Amino acid sequence: MSDTKLPLAGVRVLEFGTLIAGPFCARILAEFGAEVIKVESPGAGDPLRKWRKLHQGTSLWWYLQSRNKRSLTLNLKHPEALAIALELAMQADIVIENFRPGVMEKLGLGWQTLSERNPGLVMVRLSGFGQTGPQRDQPGFGAIGESMGGLRYITGYPDRPPVKTGISIGDSIAALWAALGAMMALRHREVNGGAGQMVDVALYEAVFAMMESLVPEFDMFGFVRERTGNVMPGITPSNTHTTRDRRHVIVGGNGDAIFRRLMAAIGRPDLAEDPALADNAGRDGRADEIYRAIDEWVGCHDLATVLARLREAEVPAAQTYSVEDMMRDPQYLARGMIERMQLPDGRQVAMPGVVPRLSATPGGTRWPGPALGEHTDEILRELGRDDSEIASLRADGAV
């Protein structure tokens, strides 16, 4: 699909930042047609280029995180490079940065400066603790946001220390809020006089916003939600069970009618018809009894039988998928959630598809993450620099 048919076609984004939160936000916009110029330092670039599994010296994560972006190298310690960055910011609809608060101001690229020169600009700022408050100057990675935001405290088993999820979920949640904030700010600009604004996303607040009823439950009842393993307290039954062939299955039978179907499917009509278990409050009071019944039934059957019977009974259930399971799952494949991307050496590699799915203007992958500085000359020419000026900038260490 051509860029002109994508929903963010014509939106110009300038990305400053490294690793996860800011670049992931920009990736989402790029997947839906925004023109994203990623500013990187000459020589090394974004450290993500060397994170996790590498193919010919470049991270596969990099190819995914930076798909559809253009790479421009600028030495932001050089005045001519800063002038180029400022020039690009004057043409941008959105500037995204995830440095520690104050860094952009020291560079002369802070919100006050940019908004005065480009009143329609939307500036998305991601940081550990936000642009204000007593901890604004402290470094804060996603793990700190997950801890301070409450997610780590409730994750794991009650008799063990808190555990992390298997991905950098705090950064990713912050990126999603940032992308949403950018879209709301653009919408406001379109309908309310053309003014831009700053979108201030703190990692701990991004996680905190996902914490369901944690705050009102504590405020009204003094209730502190604790770690409960795989059980969802207050919502019964919803748990993980192990099959005879040692596979793990999530069973969600917490709807009233679903619970009755589940109990019938596992041969426990007595529980299905027990009036005391007709609603969630009654079931939650007898959660241990219900979970023992499900455990016993699941443990007597292999995975295929469990899933087939529960599917027939219209009870939500799924095995816990590894990436190997995802790669061959008919549902993933039918919805295009595994797509293939060609790397610079011609090698094809699978990547996750684009979410969300738009019926008329779906996003997609147009090219993988670029080589460091791959588009530097191209972008400088678009700014009116000729070949001799570009050569001079490079010789002087500006780009």
Any idea which residues carry the catalytic annotation?
Answer: 171
Tokens encoding 360: 């008329």
Sign of CA dihedral 168, 169, 171, 175: positive
Largest CA-CA distance found in the chain, in angstroms, rounded? 85
The rounded distance, in Å, linking the Cα atoms of 105 and 99 is 11
Which of 277, 275, 301, 297 is CA-nearest to residue 287?
Answer: 277
Cα 399 from Cα 321, distance rounded (Å):
45
Q: What is the DSSP string of 96-140?
A: EE-SPTTHHHHTT-SHHHHHHH-TT-EEEEEESS-SSSTTTTS--
Do strands 348-352 and 338-342 pair parallel, antiparallel, or not at all (unpaired)? antiparallel
Task: Count Cα neighbours of 371 within 13 Å in the Cβ-side half-sphere.
Answer: 9
Residue 162 and residue 153 in contact, taking contact as beta carbons nearer than 8 Å: yes
**Which residues does 18 contact at the CB level (< 8 Å), separation at least 6?**
46, 47, 48, 98
Exposed / middle / buried, residue 139 (Cβ in 10 Å: 0-12, 13-18, 19+): exposed
3-state DSSP call for residue 200?
strand
Instruction: Provide φ and ψ at 377, rounded to 5°.
Output: -60, -40
Angle ∠(74,77,83) on CA atoms, nearest 5: 60
